[in-house]
Amino acid sequence: MRELVVHELIRHSLLSHADQEIVSGPVRLTYAAFYERVLRLADGLKKMGVGRGTVVGVLDVNTHRYLELHYALSMRGAVLHTINFRLPAEEMLYTVRHAGDEWLFVWEGFREIVDKVRNQFPNWVWLTDGPDSPSSGSPIYEGLVEEGEAVEDPSADEVSETDPFSIFYTTGTTGPPKGVCYRHRDMILASLQILHHLALHEGGARVSSRDVFMPLIPFFHIHGWGMPLFVPYLGAKLVLPGRSGPQEQVSLISQERVTCMNMVPTQLHMLLDASASSGARLDGLKILTGGSALPSGLARRASEAGLAYSLIYGGSDQLGTSISVVPERMAADGEEGRQELSRRMRTLPAVELEIRNETGAVLPRDGRSIGEIWVRSPWLPNGYYKDPERSQASYVGGWFRTGDLGVLDGEGFLTVLDRDRDAIKSGGEWIASTVVEGLLSEHPKVAMAAVIPVADERWGERPMGIIQAREPVGEEELREFLQSKAQEGRLARFWIPDRFVVVETLPLTSAGKLHKAALRKQFAG
């Protein structure tokens, strides 16, 4: 590779894996055929005036077209804005304006969402399977590909690894979404570090070039945790699920012999339910999961279904940071090793972590001292995109303040305990809501659980449990269940919630995490 620019990755894949497959719905492409389409698309983009620094918004599910845009826009030196289709309409519109999108590429399945603002943005391209544009005068994607020439443009070699590659927005629950801009080298370094970490260490999601990958993490969320970049680099088969539901995903796993996937815990929960209802087997499937804590009950269900898993920690504003592995002193296939994979993570190479207290002082690596996780890495941004005020609060002296609480031990392993705003301080002592949620998830009548702080005159704050149940369950039954866990030494008795509420469904954020801000607002009284 000449430089660490994204389109060099697909060129690299042609050297030894030109016949490997990319599968997207009914479309099956070899890497060679995929590359030809990318060249044609890049030429079509050039004729439209898309060039160095042009910001292009893409609103699509995980498809071959979205993947092609990653590489074609890279060849043009343009900036890819991955639009989060799970945001409320007004927040989605905010990100399009804030990023400065000059062109919008929109899948026809989202037409109903965007029709109301169609006249506010003149430059549209429709991602459609049909021959006609959904709106008069707008070009269609396949037309650009068909009319473009499959020639390598010398200007692609002028793109630098320090040029911006993409903009995406955090799914924070306070204030408008925060934009993050990453350069080519940042995305490649972080993506390849994730791959190398998974390939070199013993873990549930250990990967190789023989794996078949299917990302359930949408491309708008940190580019599907780097999978669109590191799978072609690896030269492996890539299956793109489009807008598929859990039952369709189970079928794809069987049909395409998928062996490795990424997903948040709520997606894992739905995949296991779909597998159980259909009787389909998932034995041997490897899962990389993160975005929120993996409840112990869900981890047990996954293991019983024959799945292996590893945890990943990071976020839109820091990329990959840590992945759980089995320590070298433990057996990779033993029960102790499997328990390690559900809680402790080793940092990626070149990443530095510190645990600091409220004053910014570094806490000891003793596995007990709880504080905020601070991160530093070669791919860390300098701040939020066009947002100096919030940048100043989070990016300090080359470090990123994550807002997460955790501990580091003497072996360098990280345990993430909670979001700072979600943790509960009762009588001056921390209560990790994720630990209580995990234990509640082990109850056979509990589908999902959330634990939030509520004001208390005596203790300042006390935990409250909110349950999405599989079948009717009462407060005393839940309290007695947690008391039995306290007797086993798995939590302190004062961590047991004073009150439990059963709801029909728990709210989720656009990233598929528990929407605790909404719950705190709902149950503030």
For residue 344, is it left (φ>0), alpha (ψ between -120 and 50) or beta? beta
Contact 216, 285 (CB under 8 A): no
Contact 177, 87 (CB under 8 A): yes
All CATH 3.40.50.12780 domain ranges of the chain, comma separated, are: 6-181
Return the bridge partners of 372, or none.
Answer: 356, 405
- Could you give the C-alpha distances from 304 to 85, 221, 282, 298, in angstroms and in order? 34, 29, 10, 10
Task: Please list, in sequence order, all residues whose beta carbon lies within 8 angstroms of the beta carbon of residue 26, skipping any fewer than 6 positions away.
Answer: none
Which CATH homologous superfamily contains domain 424-522? Answer: ANL, C-terminal domain (3.30.300.30)
Distance in angstroms (rounded) separating the CA atoms of residues 410 and 438? 25
Strand ranges (E), 362-487? 371-376, 395-396, 399-408, 413-419, 424-426, 429-431, 446-456, 460-469
What is the structure's pLDDT at 98?
Answer: 96
All CATH 3.30.300.30 domain ranges of the chain, comma separated, are: 424-522
Contact 469, 447 (CB under 8 A): yes
Distance in angstroms (rounded) separating the CA atoms of residues 496 and 478? 10
Q: Which amino acid is residue 448, in one-letter code?
A: M
Hey, what CATH topology would domain 6-181 get? Rossmann fold (3.40.50)
- Could you give the C-alpha distances from 328 to 199, 201, 337, 342, 354, in angstroms and in order? 15, 9, 10, 16, 23
- Per-residue pLDDT in tens (0 to 9) along the chain, 525 residues: 788 999 999 998 998 899 999 999 999 999 999 999 999 999 999 999 999 999 999 999 999 999 999 999 999 999 999 999 888 888 899 999 999 999 999 999 998 888 878 788 889 999 987 766 666 667 899 999 999 999 999 999 999 999 999 999 987 556 789 999 999 999 999 999 999 999 999 999 999 999 999 999 999 999 999 999 999 999 999 999 999 999 999 999 999 999 999 999 889 999 999 999 999 999 999 999 998 888 888 888 999 999 999 999 998 899 889 999 988 878 767 777 778 888 889 999 899 999 999 899 999 999 989 999 999 999 999 999 999 999 999 999 999 999 999 999 988 899 998 887 787 888 777 788 888 998 999 999 999 999 999 888 778 889 999 999 999 999 999 999 999 988 888 888 889 999 999 999 999 876 677 888 889 888 876
| Cα 26 from chain centroid (whole Å) | 26
What is the structure's pLDDT at 188?
Answer: 96
Which is it for strands 286-290 and 308-315: parallel, antiparallel or unpaired?
parallel
Across the chain, what does the average pLDDT equal?
Answer: 91
What is the structure's pLDDT at 88?
Answer: 81
